[in-house]
Amino acid sequence: MTFSEHVEKKAEGLRQVILRHPFITGIGQGTLDVEKFKFYVRQDYLYLIGYSRVLALASAKAPDLDIMGWFARLLHETLNSEMELHRSYCAQFGISRQELEETQIAPSTLSYASYLESTAYHHTFPELVAALLPCQWGYWEIGDHLMRQGLPQHAPLYCHWIEMYTSKEYKALAHWLRQLADDLATQESHHGVQKMEEAYLTSLRYEYLFWEMSYRQETWPV
């Protein structure tokens, strides 16, 4: 059993909770309150900024040039293409670039991004890859799950979101990172694999919190 198969089996309950979360099911059915989704895309934009820093650190810590280049290309794509696409997508919901830039970061967004940055700075490269896997693979898993149920044709912007995360390009990205995590785990000690598992499970919990935050439109209590 590979590392990814093992941790997914270990986290099966949480993965199913995410797939059944009302934010996710609302996208799939096209019934999610648009204000909740607008909150999500604004927070996701802020998350992408921290995520880009993590990709830069991943490239710097990579064990060889091929892996370094892969993370560098993903960083370039994220900063120079994906974030612009994100702005364009937000504009379809009536969210301007200025509004995006002025969005206050929510507690869960800050906590998740800070966790990934801390992992990138202070932990091993295999742990970092494991910590990134719930985001990369998780979005593909969610998209694939919703696509199998059928696109909500009456909600074209939600259809577009599902199609983004089931595209051939995104699927290839998710599978590459999954394979990298599996390859790295074979070179780790038992303790090292345990640390990778901990990083994966922590990030997966944050993924759940991100959906929950978006559904509840979380703000600072004071």
Q: How many CA atoms lie within 13 A of 160 on its CB side?
A: 10
Set 135, 141, 159, 212: catalytic member: 135
Residue 90 annotated to the active site:
no
User: How many Å is the maximal CA-CA distance in the chain?
Assistant: 51
Q: What's the helix, strand, coil split of the chain in %, to 5?
A: 80, 0, 20
Residue 77 annotated to the active site:
no
How long, in residues, is the chain?
222
Set 197, 207, 212, 218: catalytic member: 207
CA proximity to 8, closest of 128, 193, 138: 138
Tell me how many degrees the CA angle 216-218-222 measures, rounded to the nearest 5: 140
Catalytic residues: 135, 207
